Amino acid sequence: MTFLNGVAGKEHSHDHAVNSALIFNQCHPMVVGTGGLTLFPGTPLLEEAEHGEFTPLSEKEMLEELKTFAEILDRDCGFITHHTISGVNLTGPDFLGRKEKIIAALDHEIKHGDLDRMAAIRRNKQTL
């Protein structure tokens, strides 16, 4: 199963993280993948953002949403994330065994990460 970090926008971010994790818990996935929303030119969602109809998350807010999702996720599974975190590998098996370490790494990035670098990487993506 895949959690698309940021897809609900700023207004629904917390609910998206909580409710997604609760659904994932009920589904007993073998692997949980996460990826962060990137708004590409020519897409309807970017147009909505440009018209003020959708408010994308900042890099810090993306990390906070992912942290909330990880805190509530309570199934032992593989965990794969494609978030642009400086030098931290959150991907691997045994999510529950590594959950505290994953949450601590996300918390560290929220407080001390190079958010401008992360935002630049996301801005410069051409494709997925």
Return the pLDDT at 52: 96
Whether 128 maps to a domain, the answer reads: no
The sign of the dihedral angle between the CA atoms of 54, 46, 33, 84 is negative
Whether 6 maps to a domain, the answer reads yes
Q: Catalogue the E-assigned strands of 56-118.
A: 78-81
Number of domains in the chain: 1
Q: What is the pLDDT of residue 127?
A: 66
Q: Rounded to an integer, what distance in angstroms lies between the CA atom of residue 46 and that of residue 51?
A: 9
Task: Provide the pLDDT for residue 54.
Answer: 97
Average pLDDT, 10 consecutive residues per value, the chain (128 residues):
96 98 97 91 93 95 96 95 67 92 92 87 74
Q: Is residue 81 part of a domain?
A: yes
Q: What is the C-alpha to C-alpha distance for residues 36 and 40, in angstroms, rounded to an integer?
A: 12
Residue 55 is predicted with a pLDDT of 97
Instruction: Return the pLDDT at 61.
Output: 96
Q: Which domain holds residue 56?
A: 2-123
Burial (0-12, 13-18, 19+ Cβ within 10 Å), 5: buried
Residue 13 located in a structural domain = yes
Q: Quick one: which of 105, 26, 25, 8 has its CA closest to 62?
A: 8
